[in-house]
Amino acid sequence: MSLTLTDLPQQSRAWARLMGACLLVLVLAFALLAPLVFPADPLRQSLGQILAAPDAASPLGYDHLGRSLTARLASALRLSLAIAAAAVLSGAILGVAAGVLAAWRGGWLDRALSLIADAFLALPGLLLVLIVSAIVPVTAFAFWIGLTLVLWIEFFRLTRATVSRLLAAPAIEASLLLGFGPIHVFRRHLWPELAPMLLTLGAFGAATAVMMIAALGFVSVGVRPPRPELGLMMVEMLPYYREAPMALLVPVAATFLTLLGLNLVAGGRRA
């Protein structure tokens, strides 16, 4: 069966989405199963294994304090992915609710919510997360709040623009004239249109969250040692890149594969 030119981009998107999903499955499998297959305390130091080569207990080797890089990488991935997933979920709920409300009600409420979104958008994302981190003592909780405040804006803007356009559709006008409530209209007419775009935006948002967490760790203002985190692991191993280049490559490769998988999943979907 021959393919037309219009089929090729669609097949490319499908392959990109599949490759991204496979990468994410591999990253998640390592993060969740590594502690079961290679049980080790990511905080336990062993001076006899400083920068030691990989062995059966730690296939990725050991860091400058003799800690298992396998255990630390799995723990760091679980932390970053958990915070990113929580931030995307809360940001999506907040943004979609505010976007639907702004588009449905209009008037002063729409202007007020849009003004709030523009005010948050004026602040750089990393700065907003840093401000929240300075106020909230628990780092993971602070990251969740800060990233939620960063991510909800795009969900709000996308939802508001889409719902504003859809509310003028004849099907929705007919449903409202027949007396159907907002919940029915949202579930029957709005959500099917919003869902694909929100999934794409959610994947991009998760990639942004993982990148921000790693960036803050890389400049030593994120997760505090000895707790493992991807950016912090890069900083810790950077002075030893000549003696143990693989130890530095481990968190770099893990971050790259995670971001690549999320971006392929997002870019492989048609918005």
- pLDDT per position as a tens digit, 39-95: 999 999 998 899 999 999 999 999 999 999 999 999 999 999 999 999 999 999 999
Q: What is the DSSP letter of 59?
A: T
Stated pTM of the model: 0.90
CA–CA distance, 44 with 67 (Å, rounded to integer): 6
- What's the pLDDT score for residue 268? 58
Q: How confident is the model at residue 267 (pLDDT cuts 50, 70, 90)?
A: confident
CA–CA distance, 151 with 195 (Å, rounded to integer): 16
Of the CA atoms within 13 Å of residue 44, those in its CB half-sphere come to 10
Q: Is the CB of residue 91 less than 8 Å from the CB of residue 157?
A: no
Q: How confident is the model at residue 222 (pLDDT cuts 50, 70, 90)?
A: confident
Q: Residue 73 CB: number of other CB atoms within 10 A? A: 23
Beta-bridge partners for 62: 68
pLDDT one-digit tens code per residue, 162-212: 999 988 888 888 887 777 878 888 888 899 999 999 999 999 999 999 999
- Cis preceding-peptide flag for 42 (omega within 30 of 0): no
Q: How confident is the model at residue 7 (pLDDT cuts 50, 70, 90)?
A: very low
- What's the pLDDT score for residue 80? 95
Map out the domains of the chain with their CATH numbers. 72-267 (1.10.3720.10)
- What's the pLDDT score for residue 271? 43
- What's the pLDDT score for residue 2? 41
The rounded mean pLDDT for the chain is 89
245 CA to centre of own chain: 27
Of the CA atoms within 13 Å of residue 158, those in its CB half-sphere come to 24
Q: What percent of the chain has pLDDT over 70?
A: 95
- What is the arithmetic mean of pLDDT over 21-46? 94
Helix, strand, or coil (residue 13): helix
